[in-house]
Amino acid sequence: MDQVQVAFWAAPPVTRTITALTLVQSVLVYGGVLSGYYVVFWPAQIFKLLPEIWRLATPFLLTGPRLSFFFDLYFLYHYGSQLETSAVRFSQPGDFFIYLVFVAFVIMLTAGYVLGGMVFTSALILAFIYTFAQENRGRRTKLWFIEIPMEYLPWAMLVITMVLNGWPSALSESMGIVAAHLYDFLTRIYPTFGGGRNYLVTPAAVQRFFSRHTPNAGHRGYGTAFQASASSQPAQPSSRGWTSSIQNPWGGRGAGRRLGGD
């Protein structure tokens, strides 16, 4: 337990916060204390006279049930920590927070408004994995017993989701890849190869906030960083499969329409 606490508090602040919120909300929902009706994405309940604005965040903070509860938390914590402590992709304090907000916004528009999804945790995790895989192109990882290039990992997970839960769930989860790729295009590909400008810069106020609220103030002060190294196998847990969508009674957290209809 002490090691878990040390690892948790050593994690970077954004990942630590969203993991803790996901843990608490999921325990409340699956423990029967809080109805899932109040946390899913429902535009009609957001845009009304007394808006339920918390629904803009809570759909990203609900794991799958049973074993998926543990795997989703682990993937969220592991890949979030890897990205937030990446000095290559997110070099300034608060960069990962802006990435998270942008990716979540795109997922909400695509998986939520366009596809009618109600829970977006799987799509957010897949966005993390896609960005992490792009940073580690050329390396290899294991998916179950098959060794594949790292950049193929998100797509392999989508195939597994489609086999287990059908194409609507896979389509909704794939919006995480769309969101992460759009961020990569706007911040790296287009400015570097297209001669364009990067408009998704981290505001100075956000940089100051994260500089003040991180230990060992400086460029990257998160204590023990969980950054990938050449000798590590960061995606090894995926050898157990893309469990985020397994055993989901809502027909996969992509479409998620059953819960809203209750």
pTM of the model: 0.80
Condensed to tens digits (0 to 9), the pLDDT of residues 85-97 reads: 887 789 888 999 9
Specify if 262 maps to a domain.
no
Domain for residue 111, yes or no? yes
> Is residue 235, in this structure, part of any structural domain at all?
no
Residues in the chain: 262
Render pLDDT for 229-239 as a digit per residue (tens, 0 to 9): 333 343 333 33
Q: Compute the Cα dihedral for 202, 205, 206, 209 and give only its sign.
A: positive
pLDDT (0 to 100) of residue 245: 36
Given this model, what pLDDT does residue 234 score? 38
Statement: residue 11 has pLDDT above 70: yes
Q: Check pLDDT > 80 for residue 68.
A: yes
At residue 129, the pLDDT reads 95
Question: Counting Cβ atoms within 10 Å, is residue 206 exposed (0-12), middle (13-18) or buried (19+)?
Answer: middle
10-45 burial, b for 16+ CB within 10 Å, e for fewer?
Answer: ebbbbbbebbeebbebbebbbeeebebeebbbbeeb
Per-residue pLDDT band at 1 (split at 50, 70, 90): low
Residues contacting residue 142 through CB under 8 Å, at least 6 positions apart? 148, 233, 235, 236, 238, 239
| Mean pLDDT, residues 52-73 | 93
Residue 109: CATH number of its domain? 1.20.1540.10
Residue 55 lies in a domain: yes
Note whether residue 160 is domain-resident: yes
Q: What are phi and psi of 146, to 5 degrees?
A: -110, 130
Convert the pLDDT of each residue in 204-215 to its tens digit: 999 999 988 665
> For the segment 95-147, what is each residue's pLDDT rounded down to a tens digit?
999 999 999 999 999 999 999 999 999 999 999 999 999 999 889 988 778 88
Whether 224 maps to a domain, the answer reads yes
Question: What's the total number of domains in the chain?
Answer: 1
Which of 80, 98, 101, 105 is closest to 13 using CA atoms?
80
Higher-pLDDT residue of 104, 220: 104
Q: Crossing angle, helix 121-135 and helix 95-107, to 10 degrees?
A: 130
Share of the chain above pLDDT 70, in %: 81
- pLDDT computed for residue 107 by the predictor: 98
Q: Whole domain around residue 123: which residue ranges?
A: 2-230+240-247
Q: Nearest 5°: phi and psi at 140?
A: -125, 150
> Is residue 255 domain-resident?
no
Q: Pairing between strand 140-143 and 146-149? A: antiparallel
